[in-house]
Amino acid sequence: MSLPTFGPTGLQNVHDDAPHGYAVVRLDYRVSRDELFAALVLGFTETDPDRDPALMTVEEVRGEVESTLAGHSFTEVWRVIEQLRDGSFSPWQADRLEGLRQAMGRAYPVASVPRCPAAHPEDPTPCDGPPVVTVLVTNTTGANGCEHHAARMLASLEGGRVYALPDAPAGAAIRVFKAAATIRPFVWVERGEGQ
């Protein structure tokens, strides 16, 4: 499984006792969201807990995580995860943790899952499968889409048409056509009062 990969942003273990480097050893860590957050909290707390997380740059956040992973065992990271799950924090600590969560979001954004071309950029919903149909806007322009987004696109067009792609499962175009009839145009746009 391919995961989004961040870093390294810096070299670890740089110190005066060993002025001449011998080799650079690369190491990749696969971390869960909880482990990543715990590593950031641990590094932030040990380096200087009085900083404002909102002022940390992406490089600083990643550097903190990387040096924590380089210098601590996973037993220690897991101890922090358990403390965080325990959840007994002062308002000040809770505020710091929220700031660190936002800092983590900046430095390690959630990977956006690619969607089919029929998905409208403002429609936040995910695909319900691979592209199986083409929705034609005119005779020559259109977009391939999963059944879900194709139906929403078709519902938003005047006189659009839908055709199954060659390897589509049976009935895909008809399902999209029928579903589109039950969907209002631009269904992802929230309706205001009285509409």
* 143 contacts 153 by C-beta, under 8 angstroms: yes
Q: Strand pairing partners for 145?
A: 133
Q: How far is the CB of 34 from Zn ion (least distance, A)?
A: 30
Name the one range near Zn ion by CB under 5 A: 11-19, 71-79, 121-129, 155-163: 121-129
Please state, as a whole number, how many other Cβ atoms lie within 10 Å of the Cβ of residue 51: 16
Give the shortest CB-138-to-Zn ion separation in angstroms. 21
Q: Scanning residues 129 to 158, which ones bind Zn ion (CB under 5 A)?
A: 146, 149
What's the closest the beta carbon of residue 177 comes to Zn ion, in angstroms? Answer: 16
Residues binding Zn ion: number (CB under 5 A): 5
Q: Which segment (29-37, 93-101, 116-124, 182-190) binds Zn ion by CB under 5 A?
A: 116-124
Residue 172 in the binding site for Zn ion (CB under 5 A): no
**Site membership for Zn ion, residue 116 (CB under 5 A):** yes
Which residue's CB is nearer to Zn ion, number 129 or number 171?
129
Distances (CA, A) of 118 to 55, 148, 179, 187: 39, 9, 15, 14
CA distances from 185 to 128, 166, 167 (A): 19, 27, 28
CB of 118 vs Zn ion, minimal distance in Å:
6
Interface residue with Zn ion, options 127, 143, 168, 180 (CB under 5 A)? 127
Which C-beta is closer to Zn ion: that of 61 or that of 116? 116
Contact call for residues 151 and 176 (beta carbons, < 8 A):
yes
Sheet holding 161-164: strands in order across?
A: 142-145, 133-136, 161-164
Whole-angstrom distance, CA of residue 102 vs CA of residue 135: 39
Beta bridge partners of 139: none
Residues contributing to the site for Zn ion (CB under 5 A): 116, 119, 127, 146, 149
